[in-house]
């Protein structure tokens, strides 16, 4: 009797193992047969900024308190701040920042031009009409990795005078924000006063008008 019971148990166990194995194989086949595909959507809307090409910062300069020497051309470095004939204080800042967010073929580069007005004293008849502001050696940064921006003039120095002077030129790769920083060294910004140009001791101030234009500089 003990042998029969053991045999029965053994056979029942083998039968159960066989059944489990069969079910496992069958379930795996069913999962593979149930594979299917589906589709969904993703969308977005892009709009052009109202003013996609803007000049967001322009520099101001104060050149300190200087002794006059009308016998020769003089060059003066910037001070941190000081009074003008109208504005007090004038605080020196040395950055030009341009933002270009135009799309597609509208992005055709840009250029910045500047014109220096007369330096007028507190006594309005005192005027310096031939002064220049010389800019050189800017440090350029860009929100992307483009390097297609250059200083105007001869490429190393540009002088802002009473004429229209091209200060920066950028190509179509300069999408994003471009900064020109003229603070690498103290000589990067200088006031140039020709010999005999100062009429009298006074506090003087001049306006600098900055213009940002799309595209390359027009060929005369």
pLDDT string in tens for the chain (220-residue length): 323 333 333 323 334 434 444 444 445 555 555 589 999 999 999 888 899 999 999 999 999 999 999 999 999 999 999 999 999 999 999 999 999 999 999 999 999 999 999 999 999 999 999 999 999 999 999 998 889 999 998 899 999 999 999 999 999 999 999 999 999 999 999 999 999 999 999 999 999 999 999 999 987 6
Task: Provide the pairing of β-strand 149-151 with 176-181.
Answer: unpaired
Q: What does pTM read for this prediction?
A: 0.80
Residues 6 or more apart whose Cβ sits within 8 Å of residue 126? 120, 199, 200, 202, 204
pLDDT at residue 44, rounded to an integer: 94
| DSSP letter, residue 138 | P
For 80, other C-beta atoms within 10 Å of its C-beta total: 9
**Domains of the chain: which residue ranges?**
53-214
């Amino acid at each position: 009797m003990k042998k029969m019971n053991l045999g029965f148990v053994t056979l029942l166990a083998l039968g159960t193992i066989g059944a489990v194995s069969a079910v496992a194989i069958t379930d795996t086949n069913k999962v593979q047969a149930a594979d299917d595909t589906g589709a969904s959507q993703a969308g977005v809307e892009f709009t052009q900024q109202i003013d996609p090409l803007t000049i967001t910062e322009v520099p101001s300069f104060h050149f300190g308190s200087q002794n006059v020497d009308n016998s020769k051309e003089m060059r003066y470095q910037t001070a941190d701040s000081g009074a003008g004939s109208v504005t007090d204080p004038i605080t020196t800042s040395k950055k030009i920042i341009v933002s270009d967010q135009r799309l597609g073929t509208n992005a055709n580069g840009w250029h910045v031009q500047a014109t220096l007005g007369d330096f007028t004293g507190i006594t309005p008849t005192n005027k310096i009409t031939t002064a220049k502001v010389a800019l050189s050696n800017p440090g350029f940064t860009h929100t992307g990795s483009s390097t297609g921006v250059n200083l105007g003039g001869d490429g190393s120095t540009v002088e802002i005078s009473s004429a229209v002077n091209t200060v920066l030129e950028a190509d179509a790769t300069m999408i994003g924000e471009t900064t020109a920083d003229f603070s690498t060294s103290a000589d990067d910004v200088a006031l140039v006063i020709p010999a005999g140009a100062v009429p009298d001791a006074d506090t003087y101030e001049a306006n600098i008008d900055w213009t940002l234009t799309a595209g390359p500089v027009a060929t005369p």
